[in-house]
Structure 1
Amino acid sequence: MTPAAERPILGQLTLNRFLKGRHPRLTSQDEGGKLFLTKIWKCKSPDCKAWVREEFATEEQKCPMCKGDMLRTMKHLPALVKKVKSRSR
């Protein structure tokens, strides 16, 4: 088993897949890789690197990883584009 220090943090792993265009539902390729200033909630704990886009946050946002308090801030991120699945008839 890989030691904890060598394992990627869930948020980093998800971000890396997204930036490489491998995320199954969302892509930023249509925007040409442009970054946009985006509202986010970031964990206040110095040991935790978790953050959540504001549109996916709950009213009383708690950190999804450590359950600590979160701080509202801004981050440059690619725009999200939802891929629509075609319905079969």
Structure 2
Amino acid sequence: MKNSHRFFSNTDCQYFPCHKTSRPERFNCLFCYCPLYFFEECGGNYRLLKSGVKDCTACLIPHTYEGYDHILAKLRERFAVIRGETSSEE
């Protein structure tokens, strides 16, 4: 899956990997900035700081092979709500 539309690893980045991981060869850089950051409930492992800022340093969802499917599913759910459709999970 190396460097496909679902996975990209930028080992030349000065921050690679930007989260601690025991498997850097499986670290996905495709969603370098998580598109779910501004979702109230993203499904990730985050903590809310007193300032109201999300601290996502413990979350690896966007940086895994499976993260692609998780992010797309969450985006589809949100788009369905915006369009006035109901999701099967509601």
TM, length-normalised to structure 2? 0.23
Greater fraction of residues in strand? 1
Relative contact order higher in (CA < 8 Å, ≥ 6 apart): 1
The structure with the larger Rg is 1
TM, length-normalised to structure 1? 0.23
Greater fraction of residues in helix? 2
